Amino acid sequence: MGVHYVGRIEKMKVKELIKQLEQIQNKDVEVFVLNQFDGFSKIYEVEPFNNCAAISGDIKSEELYGMPAVEPVRYGGQVTASDYCIAPHDSFEEAKAYLTQLASEGEDDEFVVGKVIKCHFPVIYVDEIIDNDRELHEQDYGFTDYLSDVTQKQKNDLEMMLTRTYKKWLEINHLESNAYGLEDEVLFRLNPITGEYEEDKSYANEMP
């Protein structure tokens, strides 16, 4: 894989970027963004906004280097008599073993194991940001038309950009929510005869 530098550029237009890329003779080399964390971000899309275009990539800080771009499948679950969900485990067997222990210690009859899916999707609401900035501006300079002509399209663009940045900040600093949902759930019930927790094959059919 080759890496080609086109120089340090803070701002450029699409036609200027195309001109720079045309200078690269080998058109089969991969293109990356060298980000502010001194890592390479692999480009996955180019988004057109109202007055600009944004190149989106996976930010990789030194701390995140070597981690796969796609999150691995993890497994979690809970004893059904409790609202407590265990921390995600790397394998189904590990999650099942831990829940078996919890259920046994609590003398519970059943527990559920499944694939972890994120259920909290943070969003930055730009109306609050714009209103707050407008109020601060008014306190300092009196009533003006500052930010009075912001269109809904511009708000949508800003919300998308800030939300994406905030999500990446949560990820890099390991501050993401621990809450999760489950899919492909498997229910285990205690067999009173054997004393073992066995898979309930009918559970999948009972689910809506």
For the chain, the structural domain boundaries read 14-64, 75-120+177-206, 126-172
The full DSSP string for 22-46 is HT-S-TTS--EEE-TTSSEEEEEEE
Residue 204: pLDDT band with limits 50, 70, 90:
low
Of 11-25, 41-55, 188-202, which gets the smallest average pLDDT?
Answer: 41-55
pTM above 0.75, yes or no: no
Please tell me the predicted confidence (pLDDT) of residue 41.
57
What the block records as the tokens of 8 is 């340090």
Gap between the Cα atoms of 109 and 198, Å rounded:
10
Mind listing the pLDDT tens digit for each residue in 82-128?
878 898 899 999 999 999 999 999 889 999 999 998 777 788 889 99
Contact 37/62 with Cβ under 8 angstroms?
A: yes
Please tell me the predicted confidence (pLDDT) of residue 16.
78
Instruction: Compute how many other C-beta atoms are within 10 angstroms of the C-beta atom of residue 187.
Output: 21
Contact 97/76 with Cβ under 8 angstroms?
A: no
Please tell me the predicted confidence (pLDDT) of residue 150.
93
The arithmetic mean of pLDDT across residues 75-87, rounded, is 88
For residue 14, the Cα-to-chain-centroid distance in whole angstroms is 28
Mind listing the pLDDT tens digit for each residue in 170-202?
888 888 887 888 999 999 999 999 999 999 988
The CA distances from residue 198 to 102, 121, 180, in Å, are 15, 34, 24
The letter for the amino acid at 135 is E
Gap between the Cα atoms of 40 and 2, Å rounded:
13
- Whether residue 154 has pLDDT greater than 80: yes
Considering only residues 93 and 37, tell me which one the structure prediction assigns the higher pLDDT.
93
Considering only residues 151 and 51, tell me which one the structure prediction assigns the higher pLDDT.
151
Please tell me the predicted confidence (pLDDT) of residue 113.
96
What the block records as the tokens of 107 is 């003398």
Residue 34: pLDDT band with limits 50, 70, 90:
low
